[in-house]
Amino acid sequence: MLSFPIYLDNNATTPMDPRVLEAMLPYFNSKFGNAASRNHSFGWTAEEAVDYAREQVAKLINASPKEIIFTSGATESDNLAIKGVFEMYARKGNHIITVNTEHKAVLDSCKHVEKMGGEVTYLSPNEDGLVNLADIEAAITPKTILISIMYGNNEIGVLQPIEEISAIARKHDILFHTDATQAVGKVPVDVMAQNIDLMSFTAHKMYGPKGVGALYVRRKNPRVKVTSQLDGGGHERGMRSGTLNVPGIVGLGKACEICQNEMADEAVRLSKMRDRLEKELLTIEEAYVNGNVEHRLPHVANISFKHVEGEGLMMGIKDLAVSSGSACTSASLEPSYVLKNLGLDDDLAHSSLRFGFGRFSTDEEVDYAIDHVKTAVHKLRDMSPLWEMYKEGIDLKSVVWQEH
């Protein structure tokens, strides 16, 4: 039985796995202690739970439990990594390299660093969303202290060549940070093998609770330090003060453990779903997949439909919870900056849909999505004068529109 609306927006957030909720529940009532209370069993019980979760999280990414700093989510982790490195390594330099298709948490942290007197180079990726390694190498200066490039893109799912990027950073004695929010728990991530120095991720993208995440901070070869952005009781090795969210941390740990056990099979199942959806939707004339199709996350498809207005398309598929390439800002309908940075024109960037499949997505839901989108696109094009002009062979780019 299908229940509506059908949720295909797992890049935005995922529903909590019932097994995660079950692990968390005792820490809301009977085991409610503060993990920093060292004088009685309530505190010890909470601390034990946090330590166990730290091990579960570390195991998923092949880190040491001591390298896991708990935060409120990936946004805070990105802020702590970028601002924390900038302040800690100020004597060494003030230059950061990133890419203009990063998540806003990285881009806005970099903008903040610029206000503090830092210098940031924003690289543009290739048309398929992959960053050019030669561009990274060329951007390095004697003052470069950090390269921050995301692992898997949240809009188009493209996976960056992490090992090659970290090798460049190592060669020049520069730290490498990656926002791996969309990748951890979906594809194998190994901070040791991939020489990652700092890495941000969060629970709610892998069937855990919202409001809890982690920052991996390497402890040796090299030993990485960041200045805290929240001051207080010196929790989390002095990098992040604040009473620990014990139920949330337990949930993150359990979510990581489940991903470790089920991720490989899940990736096969989800990529089959994604490929089937793409194959069917690409039978629609003038439909395009955005981003590299060889190097990408297993559960993400981003497709543009030419001469279809994005908002109209969203209205036409009300039964599907997906995200559109155009984010509604209060005053204007801005097309996605990620797609614009790949070189897509406004028309294609506006008419894109992002499908994010997840653990609870079914084949039946995918069938429905395929039929529903096909119907909506054809209907909108039937009503569109632009589509009619395009079919008549008129070059729409050469048309001069009259203003009233």
Residue 333 has pLDDT above 80, yes or no: no
Average pLDDT over the chain reads 95
Of 242, 247, 235, nearest to 46 (Cα)? 247
Side chain identity at residue 281, one-letter code:
L
Nearest 5°: the CA angle 151, 153, 154 is: 125
282: number of Cβ within 10 Å? 12
Instruction: Assign 396 a pLDDT band (cuts: 50, 70, 90).
Output: confident
Residue 331 has pLDDT above 80, yes or no: no
Count how many residues are written for the chain: 404
What is the reported pLDDT for 329?
A: 40
On the question of a common fold for 6-11+263-396 and 18-259, the answer reads no
CB 212 within 8 Å of CB 116: no
Higher pLDDT, 21 or 397: 21
Higher pLDDT, 345 or 217: 217
- Segments making up each domain of the chain, as ranges: 6-11+263-396, 18-259
pTM of the entire predicted model: 0.96
- CATH class of the domain at 18-259: alpha beta
- CATH class of the domain at 6-11+263-396: alpha beta
Residue 155 has pLDDT above 90, yes or no: yes
Residue 350 has pLDDT above 90, yes or no: no
Residues labelled catalytic: 328
CB 178 within 8 Å of CB 163: no
SS3 97: strand
Q: Exposed (0-12), middle (13-18) or buried (19+): which is 372, by Cβ within 10 Å?
A: middle
Radius of gyration of the chain (CA): 23
Instruction: Assign 103 a pLDDT band (cuts: 50, 70, 90).
Output: very high
What is the reported pLDDT for 23?
A: 98
